[in-house]
Amino acid sequence: MRAFFLFGMLIISGLCFGQNHKLSGTIRDHETQLPVPGASVTRSDGQGTITDANGFFSLMISSFPATFVVSHVSYERTEVSLPADPKKPLTISLHQKISDIPEVQISAKRMRILTEDSDFSLLDIACGKEILWMLGFIRNHHSQGRLWQANLYGDTIRSLPVAKPEELFTDPFGNVHLLTSDSAYQLFNNGTEILLLYSSEKASFLESMDVIKVVYADKMVYQDYLPDSEGLQTRWISTDSHKKGLLCSIRDSAEEARQTFEYIYGKDMYLYHLARSELLITRIEAKNQIRFNRLTQDSVFNRNVKVPVFATDDSLYLVNLYKDSLNVYDDSGVYAGSRHINFHRDSILFDVSYRSIRYLKDPVTQNIFLLIRRIASWDLIMLDLPSGKPGRTVPLPDFPGMTSIQVHGNAVYFLYAEKDFPFYNRLYRYQLE
C-alpha cells in the first residue's frame, strides 16, 4: 500500500513539474500607453514570439521562476523576471531609446542597419506577415548556413541550421520557400519552431512556379504563346471553382512584319535583288525561294513578346509595351480600361528599347513601385495607378551592389555589403514617408 502511495505521488509530482504555463500580456509604450506591435518576446533558451498589431503576446513557460526579454528596435531592451505564475495577463511598459540609432548619411532616422552588430552575413531576405525571414552564414562561413526568423525590425526570434542554402523564394500566393542546391521547402512558423515542409526537387519546383505570373481575387494568372505568331495570351483560372477566362492577346505587329519581310526577301533584301538579276537561272532560283518562304513564313517567329503583369488584391494590371498602355482588369477578370504610359521606354536615336523593370508590390499598403536598374545603382519609383504615371522617387542611397530589394509595410528592405573586413552583407531598412 505504501509503495502504491509513493508511486502515485511520483506520478503527480511528474505531472506538476512537467506542466507548461501559458504566459500572456500586452506590451505598451511607457509614455503614450499605446500598444507596441512587432516587439520580440524571448525566453532564456532563445525561443520566443512577436507581439501582434495590438501589442499582445502569448508565450509558453515550463517552470518558475522564469525570465524573458522584451526587445524592439525603437525601445530599450527590457528583462522581466517572474518568481511565480502571475495567473493573469501582464502589462509591460517599454521606454523609448534615447541614444541615436545607427544612420546613413541620407537620413538620420529613416535609414537603419538592422544587423549591424550581428556575427552573420546575409544571403537573402523575404518578408512575410509580421515576420522577416533571413538566410545567411554565421561568420561568413559557407559551412554554417542558417535560417533566421525575426520581426520586421530585425530582432531575431529563432533560427535553424540549413545545409547548402541558396535563396529565399516568395511564390505568387505569398508563401516563402527555402531553396538549397537541390531542394525546395516551404517555410512555416507554428509559434514555437521553424518548420520546413513540402520538400520538392528544386528544378521542378521552379518550373511549376514559373507558370503562375500573379494571383489576385482568387484567380491565378498565367501566360502562353499563340501558335506560329508573336502573340502572347494572358489567361486566368479560379483557385476554387476552376473557371477559366481569357484576359487579352498581345502581339508585336511591327516585329512580326519585320521578321516576315526579312524572312521572305532575305536579310538586306538579297533575294529581292537576286530576283532581278540579269542571269535567268539566278532569277528563277530566287523567285522559287521567295515563293517557298511565303509558304513557310509562320515558322519563323521568335517568341519575344513580353507582357509584365502585377496586381493589387482586387485589380490586375498588364503592361502592353507595344501599345504604350497599362490595361486594368477588375476582380471578375473584366477589362476596366487602360492608361497611356511612357515609363517603359528608352529611346536611342531612331530605335526604341524597353527598360528592364521589376514591379514591386507592398502587400500591406498595396502600393506598386518600379525598380529600374541604372549603371551602378537603382531607381525605386512609386507608380500612380489611377493615372499610370510615375510618382515620387524613393531617395535610396547610392549603394552599388544593393541586393534583395523589397517593399513591405511602407518600408524598403535591402542587403548591402559593409566596406571593412569581414565584409558581411548587412540588412538595411528605409522607412518611407
Residue 97's alpha-carbon distances to 9, 217, 273, in angstroms, are 50, 42, 80
Tell me: the pLDDT tens digits for 57-111?
988 888 888 888 888 766 788 899 989 888 899 999 988 765 333 333 344 468 8
Q: What is the pLDDT of residue 182?
A: 93
CA–CA distance, 347 with 211 (Å, rounded to integer): 31
| pTM for the full predicted model | 0.71
Query: How deeply is 407 buried, as exposed, middle or buried, from its count of CB atoms within 10 A (0-12, 13-18, 19+)?
Result: buried
How would you classify the pairing of strands 219-225 and 165-170?
unpaired
| Contact (CB, 8 A) for 331 and 245 | no
Nine cell digits for residue 147: 535560417
Q: What is the pLDDT of residue 106?
A: 42
Percent helix, strand and coil across the chain, each rounded to 5? 15, 45, 40
> Hunting for cell 521547402 — which residue is that?
185
CA–CA distance, 280 with 216 (Å, rounded to integer): 63
Q: 3-state SS string over 12-37?
A: HHHHHHHCCEEEEEEEEECCCCCECC
Q: What is the pLDDT of residue 235?
A: 95
CA–CA distance, 187 with 2 (Å, rounded to integer): 52
How would you classify the pairing of strands 411-417 and 90-94?
unpaired
Q: What is the pLDDT of residue 186?
A: 95
Nine cell digits for residue 187: 517555410
For the chain, the distance separating the N- and C-terminal CA atoms, rounded to the nearest angstrom, is: 75
The DSSP code sequence of 104-147 is: BTTBSSSEEETTTT-SEEEEEEEEETTEEEEEEEETT-TT-EEE
371 residue type, one letter: L
- pLDDT less than 70: residues of the chain: 1-19, 73-74, 97-109, 228, 298-302, 347-352
